A = this chain, B = another copy of it.
Amino acid sequence: MAPPAPAGPLGIAIVGLGTIARAQHVPAIRADPAWHLCGVVDPAASLPGVPAYTSLADLFAAQPDCAAVALCTPPGVRLDLAREALAAGRHVLLEKPPAPSVTLAEALHRTADAAERTLFATWHSRFAPLVAPARQWLAGRRIDQVAITWREDVRVWHPGQAWLFEPGGMGVFDPGINALSIVTAILPEPLAMTRADFSIPQGRSAPIAVDLVMRHGAAPVTAQFDFREQGGEQWDIVVTTDAGLLELRRGGAELVTPEGQQSAPEAEYPAIYARFRELIGRGESDVDLAPLQLVADAFLQARAVGVPDYPY
């Protein structure tokens, strides 16, 4: 893999200056002395005081020292951008999901290895503050049952993002894969997808709600994802064990066990950028495709029913 990076701040550019980039990536990079925000690549948006480019080629030509890019675009264009950045010798951080298919993500991982550059396929929800404590609490317990409930209003969280319901857009799996990224991180064994029921709005291609049945060893794991929740978000994982219930609530911001309750402020992206810097320093990649694999396996087995459209 890549030789260790030089000490001092590494130059990184944001590609795709949308909501998630402005709200999370830019502040995390600016707050971390290990990084220097050296550019923004976007066809239409820019940040005051940061060099702006409309293509990766322009960025790389202007800044040979820009060592890394964070790809925050919609999923459809991410893969080509990642290939271009790796071919230009840059390290790449990917927003989730890492690619439109498992095999494309695996191919990108091989490309990064061949280029001796770091590829970091992030799952931001795994960096929620109480995910690691939940994993530690579950280690060594007998898992009897898991119930995942992930409900939010697509109108509130994804206004105008029609691509979500186009082919490959994954629909409610866009938030649901966050839940899958957490459960695959906190449970001791891999999950297997056994049944998937999809509700697909009239005239759209991707599900607005799904019910999943998985297995963790012989224990049942159910998941209910729904984009039509108008009563506030619910992002909860409840694990029944031989030592009682573990409840990981609010997407990993609150943890309840028989020993008590903890909550913590959101701090996913600072941890992600610390991890990216660490991976580069060690010449390693981090590409865990388990959450995407479960989604692919759900589509493979899907029993679909039509439901009324939910305009937004």
Task: Tell yes or no: A297 within 8 A of B by CB.
Answer: yes
Which chain B positions have C-beta within 8 A of A299? 296, 299-300, 302
Q: Which of B104, B167, B205, B293 contacts A103 (CB 8 A)?
A: B293
A214 CB to nearest chain B CB (Å) = 8
A235 CB to nearest chain B CB (Å) = 23
Most chain B CB neighbours (cut-off 10 Å) among A100, A214, A296? A296
Interface residues of A in 74-102 (CB under 8 A from B): 100-102
Which chain B positions have C-beta within 8 A of A192? 101, 103-104, 106-107
Task: Tell yes or no: A240 within 8 A of B by CB.
Answer: no
Q: Say whether B304 contacts A300, CB under 8 Å.
A: no
Q: Which of B191, B296, B302 contacts A297 (CB 8 A)?
A: B296
Each complex incorporates copies of this chain amounting to 2
Q: Report the separation of the CA atoms of residues A199 and B131 in the bound assembly, to the nearest whole angstrom.
A: 42
Q: Report the separation of the CA atoms of residues A252 and B76 in the bound assembly, to the nearest whole angstrom.
A: 36
Which chain B positions have C-beta within 8 A of A100? 194, 300-301
Q: Report the separation of the CA atoms of residues A190 and B296 in the bound assembly, to the nearest whole angstrom.
A: 18
Task: Tell yes or no: A179 within 8 A of B by CB.
Answer: no
Would you mind naming 17 contact pairs between A and B with Cβ atoms under 8 Å apart? A102-B102, A102-B293, A103-B190, A103-B193, A103-B214, A104-B193, A104-B194, A107-B192, A110-B190, A167-B301, A167-B304, A168-B303, A170-B300, A205-B303, A295-B300, A299-B299, A299-B300
